Amino acid sequence: MTRRTGLLGAMAAAGARPQTGPASRPGMEIDPTADIHPSVILEGKVKVGAYTKIDAGTILTGNVTIGHHTLIRCNVTIRGTNIIGNYTHIYDNVNIEGGRPAKVGGSKAEVPDRSIIGDGCWINHGATMHGTQIADGGAVGINGACDYNTRIGKGAILANGSATRVDQVIPDDCLAEGVPAVIKKRNLTDKDRQDYFGVLPAAWTRYEAARIEESIRKKMGR
Q: How many residues would you count in the chain?
A: 222
φ and ψ at residue 197, rounded to 5 degrees: -90, -15
| CA 162 – CA 182 distance, rounded (Å) | 9
Q: How confident is the model at residue 22 (pLDDT cuts 50, 70, 90)?
A: low
Exposed, middle or buried by CB within 10 Å (0-12, 13-18, 19+), for 206?
A: middle
| CA 123 – CA 73 distance, rounded (Å) | 10
pLDDT digits (tens, 9 = 90+) for 55-93: 999 999 999 999 999 999 999 999 999 999 999 999 999
Q: What percent of the chain has pLDDT over 70?
A: 89
The 3-state secondary structure of 174-205 reads CEEECCCCEEEECCCCHHHHHHHHCCCHHHHH
pLDDT for res 2: 42
pLDDT for 5 beyond 50:
no
Provide the sign of the torsion angle of the four alpha carbons 123, 127, 130, 132, taken in this order.
Answer: negative
Say whether 215 sits in a helix, a strand or coil. Answer: helix
State which CATH number among 3.30.1370.60, 3.40.50.300, 2.60.120.260, 2.160.10.10 fits the domain covering 60-219.
2.160.10.10
Say whether 194 sits in a helix, a strand or coil. Answer: helix
φ and ψ at residue 214, rounded to 5 degrees: -60, -45
Yes or no: say if 102 and 123 are a contact pair by the CB < 8 Å rule: no
pLDDT digits (tens, 9 = 90+) for 155-171: 999 999 999 999 999 99
pLDDT for res 23: 64
Ranges of each domain in the chain: 60-219
pLDDT for res 222: 80
pLDDT for 3 beyond 70:
no
Helices (H), 71-200: 190-197
pLDDT digits (tens, 9 = 90+) for 116-143: 999 999 999 999 999 999 999 999 999 9
